[in-house]
Structure 1
Amino acid sequence: MPRKCHAQVTRRAVSLAGGTALVLTLTGLAAPAAPAAPPAGPPTAPDGAAPAAGAPAFAAGWAHGRDLHRQTLPAGDGWASADGGTTGGAAADAAHVHTVTTWAQFRAALAAGDGPRVIRVVGTLDATEGGCEVFEAPGYDFDRYLAAYDPAVWGYEKEVSGPQEDLRAASAKNQERAVKAYVPSDTTIVGVGRGAGITGGSLQIKDADNVIVRNLTLESPLDCFPQWDPTDGATGAWNSEYDSMVVYNSTHVWIDHNTFTDGRHPDSTLPRHYGELYQRHDGELDIVRGADLVTASWNVFADHDKTLMIGNSDSAGPTDRGRLRVTLHHNLFTHVVERAPRVRFGKVDVYNNHYVVSRDGYAYSFGIGAESQLVAEKNSFRLPEGVPAGRILKKWKDAPVTVAGNHVNGRPVDLLAAHNARFPDEALRADAGWRPTLRTRVDHPGVLPALLAHHAGAGRLR
């Protein structure tokens, strides 16, 4: 979307939203102040500061008394506030405010004409309520698939091919057409109340500008037709499609107060075939292919393996250099295995998040990838016995990283020093080379466990 048009939407949305943003000066650098909606999180004091006189007490209903679907990203709140800010569909007229209760209604509202729109989600929208059977191509049979590509018959040297693979691919295409929902520019999607969400669907924010998604529980889609790849690793692997949300070549995206979860189908419930986990999940949130200016705040990411990826290929420099600028703040990561986040290329600000780590299966939290510039400050980690702080960082490629003020089990820990001491052959370099300025509030890491347990995720905005 041209920036001139985006600025016009911004001005109109500001006049509709009203209010004044809480913008605090950090390390001597002030975020630009402008009229905006109230902050999405609780108005408590920044780290080391006393609450302002007369500051309102925080409650889960911070947005109560305002039209939630008209709220816009506060000024200075992360990368999505840069270059005109993010207003979503706040400027929509009454004819373009849709209330939906089914997946079909939701997709129809996304496709209904041009211009700003609001979609209010009531209840849970099920993208696969008919089950996997409705997507099966005639002749596809999973038992025949297993028999055809059994490594004892097929081996591990070549990728699968033949009639059953062709039918699997055709079935997968049927599912893809049904479960992907494409979100256009100038759109706000907001859940109504505590029980709003999507199961089985994949939100595709692709080639868009100015999108807001809030207050939804997103249950990770189940791939009905994972593909067996005998060449993936020494013993092969099952590979699946469909993230809960993908931000693809899009700008100005605010993802706030959502819950991303495997829900009823955690990996622990999945079977094994050929000795490998029959993996039916992909990622929870991917920000890729030239996406830029994204803020993800006050979300919960729970019980998942490959959680949050920023940049999906080391070879994507031509599209990703100078982009993939993302802020992650006040998010709660519980029992996730890896990618929280994994970063390539982007200037990524990760602060005031809390991580609850499981003993079994944990790989790492911060993945340092090709040309990444990650700043991770004032985060909190709860590690079980036997999981050392040196595992929080993971070096995928040589790139500098800034870590400061992080706490592990209630105490300050230098994550970089801990990593380099544990993995001297994979030592990371200090100083990402930039300093974040777009922060509206910074809390002491010690308050994060309780703060986020009570106020992050879906159902907090009413």
Structure 2
Amino acid sequence: MQPLQARRRGLLAAIGAALAAVGLVVAMGANAYAATLLSDDFEDGNSTGWTTSGGSWSVATDGSGVYRQGGTSSDARALAGTASWTAYSVQARVKPTGWNGSNRFVAVLARVQSNTSYYYLALRSNNTVELKKLVGGSSTTLDTASWTVATNTWYTLRLDLSGTTLRGYVNGTLVGEATDSQYGAGRVGVATFYGSANFDDVLVSDSVTTPPTTTPPPTTPPTTPPVDPGPNQADGWASVNAWGQNGTTGGTGGPTVTVDTAAEFLAEVATAGARIIRVQGMIDLPGPMHDVTSDKTIIGVGASSGFTGGGLNVGLPLSDSITSPPANAVRNVIIRNLNFRSWDDDAINVQMFSHHVWVDHNTWTTGVDGGVDIKRGSSYVTVSYNHADGTDKDMLLGHDDDNSAQDVGRLKVSYHHNFFDNTNQRNPRVRFGDQVHVYSNYYLNTGNYGVASTQNAGVIVEGNYFENVDDPYHLAEGSSSDGRLVARNNCLVNSGAGETGGSVSNPSYAYTLAPQCDIKAIVSAAAGVGRI
């Protein structure tokens, strides 16, 4: 394992003829490009290579180093790079922090000729995003789309330019495309218009990726971006339309039954079809685990219901010969508001390409193995608002280094607002899973480590609160090789710096981040049973 230290770096690539370097790039939401022209995450504490016009620019801290524009009384720009750049992609994360009036914007700039002439992708306070050009201070809109814009929320803006083709993206979604020959080359930049903002993770690549053929044509850009479903609905990866299932609804539409014995519960959970199963009191299940069929909601009554002795298995029997999702894979399961105690194997096991599973507001204490293990090609799972109380092995994602045939391209899981309370490890430990999103969780007194990314997994660790955690996140674990891990906007209190490396694309769903240093209070008050 490499030393535990942050590997995010400052300005790496050529700016003029003076600087030329090849290094590690942490790309927020971008594809892995062929070569990097410029990368700046401002962790070095300076803005070397940038020139500004208007506003009040400074390198500041917002969970990590950012380039802050604090003024709202005018337009403001910061420029970098070289005038000879032609075909490239420029990307930055931006968080609007305030507006002075209506219809203001934040933007990334490309092929900059001067402070009054360039292309730009503008995220506006009136909930639109516009692909535009500025010629001598006069603007022309080339394409536009609707996009919800909120202050104190991070967005990833990307502008791709290849010949006369321009494409704009927000959070990885194509929002505008145009053909224009006004400018063929130029510098890059970030800007605000009567607004304040923080900018981070600026990345310029010399290769532009053509969007897949399934991307909607530019004449019909998305009219509405993904929407966070809100409370009491599955969010994160469990909300995505994929594999023939649109979101996770569990037993909605089926009968509601209440059970208080193991026999009653096992009969109901094995019955085909939609069912809402209310668990009354603590039920002693024989070990180790019991199969859950598709289209089920299993929900505890009050704060004192759940299972002891045995756990739940969401998935078909194990088979190494199945390497793609079968038609009869278990899907559409919700497990909420349950206590799990003294389980004989795993408290919850999701396996064999099971998908659209939501594990929410549960509490588990010590058992033999994992709290929630997800493996063997399972995907589109959200694990949220759970309380892991003093457990050793919490959340394993991907069970074996040799299981790439089932796991690569799958294991898409969101972990958010969970309370890892005096736990030891696997919070989570990830193999192969890509776009694994670990955000807004509270880690307290973690014994071994928090998050581990291995076997080329792609993990985003974002907006979490780590308290008394020597090793909040790292690459590789045991015999498993390095994964990729991007960490941003985490609150580290009496904790180590963590280890990052590689690039990870942002997930395709909408989500909302609270200020990272508020997460302790939010999660402490909301995670676990009895709080839905």
Pairwise TM-score range, normalised by the shorter structure? 0.5 to 0.7
- Cα 1:253–1:246 change in 2 (3 A) is same
Deviations 1:22-74 (A, max 9, x none): 9977515479668997423xxxxxxxxxxxxxxxxxxxxxxxxxxxxxxx425
Stretches of structure 2 lacking an aligned partner (at least 5 in a row): 1-147, 157-169, 174-223, 317-329
Structure 2 equivalent of residue 408 of structure 1 = 492
Q: Tell me if 1:283 matches 2:386.
A: no
Q: Which secondary structure state, in structure 2, belongs to the residue aligned with residue 108 of structure 1?
A: helix
Q: Does residue 355 of the first structure (1) align with residue 426 of the second (2)?
A: no
Residue 234 of structure 2 is aligned with which of 63, 73, 88?
A: 73
Aligned equivalent of 1:382, options 450, 467, 484? 467
Alpha-carbon distance in structure 2 between the residues aligned to 1:35 and 1:91: 23
User: 1:441 is matched by which residue type in structure 2?
Assistant: T
Q: What are the Cα deviations for residues 192-221 of structure 1, in whole angstroms up to 9, with x where unaligned?
A: 112111111110000311111111111141
CA offsets 1:379-424 (integer angstroms, 9 cap, x no match): 11110xxx63x5642522122211111111189x7533xxxxxxxx
Q: Which residue of 2 aligns with 1:370?
A: 455
Pick aligned residue for 2:387 from 295, 300, 306: 300
- The equivalent of 1:256 in structure 2 is 360
Contact 1:220 1:243 in 2 (8 A): no
Q: Which amino acid aligns with 1:217?
A: N
Q: Is the 1:251–1:294 Cα contact (8 Å) retained in structure 2? A: yes
Please point out which of 24, 27, 30 is paired with 2:155. Answer: 27
Aligned counterpart, 1:209: 331
Contact 2:237 2:412 in 1 (8 A): no
Q: TM-score, normalised by structure 1?
A: 0.60
AA at the equivalent of 1:457? G
The answer to whether 1:90 aligns with 2:241 is no
Whether 1:187 and 2:296 are equivalent positions in the alignment is yes
Tell me what 2:218 maps to.
none
Q: Deviations over 1:146-191 (max 9, x none)?
A: xxxxxxxxxxxxxxxxxxxxxxxxxxxxx54xxx221111111111
Of the three residues 200, 208, 231, the one matched with 1:39 is 231
User: Could you tell me how far apart the structure 1 residues matched to 2:412 and 2:398 are?
Assistant: 10
Q: Is the 8 A contact 2:228 2:510 kept in 1?
A: no
Gap change, CA 1:89 and 1:110, over 3 Å in 2? same
- Asked if the contact 2:415/2:438 (under 8 Å) is kept, the reply is yes
User: Number of residue pairs matched?
Assistant: 298
Task: Identify the residue that residue 448 of structure 1 maps to in structure 2.
Answer: 519
Offset, 1:458: 0.7
Call closer, same or farther: CA 1:379–1:35 in 2, change over 3 Å: closer
Decide whether the 8 Å contact of 1:205 with 1:247 is kept in 2: yes
1:115 to 254, 273, 291: 273
CA distance in 1, matches of 2:227, 2:456: 35
Bigger-Rg structure (1/2)? 2
| Partner Cα separation in structure 2 for residue 341 and residue 431 of structure 1 | 19
Residue 423 of structure 1 aligns with which residue?
none
Asked if 1:459 is matched to 2:530, the reply is yes
Question: How far apart, CA to CA, are the structure 2 residues paired with 1:346 and 1:453?
Answer: 28
Q: Does 1:430 find its partner at 2:502?
A: yes
**Higher helix fraction (1 or 2):** 1
State the shift of 1:82 in Å.
Answer: 3.6
Partner of 1:135: none
Post-superposition offset of 1:352: 0.5
**1:259/1:33 Cα in 2 relative to 1: closer, same or farther (>3 Å)?**
farther
State the one-letter code of the partner of 1:197: G
TM normalised by structure 2 equals 0.53
Partner of 2:528, secondary structure, is coil
Contact 1:285 1:309 in 2 (8 A): yes
Report the Cα distance in structure 2 between the residues aligned to 1:215 and 1:317, rounded to whole angstroms. 33
Residue 352 (structure 2) pairs with residue 246 (structure 1) = no
Matched-pair contact (CA < 8 Å) for 1:82–1:293: no
Task: For 1:100, give the aligned amino acid.
Answer: V
Secondary structure of the 2:155 match is coil
Distance 1:391 1:110, change over 3 A: closer
Q: 1:439, 1:456 → 2: CA distance? A: 21
Quick check: 2:361–2:385 contact (8 Å CA) kept in 1? yes
Q: Please give the alpha-carbon distance, in whole angstroms, between the structure 2 residues aligned to 1:211 and 1:189.
A: 8
Structure 2 CA distance, aligned partners of 1:261 and 1:39? 25
Task: State the alpha-carbon separation in 2 of the partners of residues 196 and 302 from structure 1.
Answer: 16
Which ranges of structure 1 fall in alignment gaps of 5 or more residues? 1-21, 41-71, 129-174, 224-241, 263-279, 417-427
Q: Deviations over 1:280-324 (max 9, x none)?
A: 711111000111100111111121111110000011111111110
| CA distance in structure 1 between the aligned counterparts of 2:507 and 2:339, rounded to whole angstroms | 29
364, 383, 408: which is aligned to 1:321?
Answer: 408
The alignment partner of 1:301 has SS state of strand
1:440 shift after superposition = 2.7
Query: Is the Cα–Cα contact under 8 Å of residues 403 and 414 in structure 1 kept in the other structure?
Result: no
In 1, the alpha carbon distance for the partners of 2:375 and 2:390 equals: 22
- Structure-1 separation of matches of 2:443 and 2:525: 14
Which residue identity is paired with 2:282? T
1:197 is the counterpart of 2:281: no
SS at match of 2:517: helix
Structure 1 window deviating more from structure 2 (364-373 vs 334-343): it is 364-373
1:79–1:88 CA distance, 2 compared to 1 (3 A): closer
Q: Equivalents in 1 of 2:296, 2:377: separation in Å?
A: 20
User: d(CA) in 2 for partners of 1:34 and 1:308?
Assistant: 27
The answer to whether residue 105 in structure 2 is matched with residue 105 in structure 1 is no
| Counterpart for residue 341 of structure 1 | 428
Higher strand content, 1 or 2 = 2
Residue number among 460, 474, 484 corresponding to 1:393 in the alignment: 474
Deviations 1:249-285 (A, max 9, x none): 20000111111212xxxxxxxxxxxxxxxxx711111
Measured on the aligned residues, the alpha-carbon RMSD in Å equals 2.5
Percent identity of equivalent pairs: 34
Bigger RCO of structures 1 and 2 (CA < 8 A, at least 6 apart): 1
In 1, the alpha carbon distance for the partners of 2:294 and 2:149 equals 26
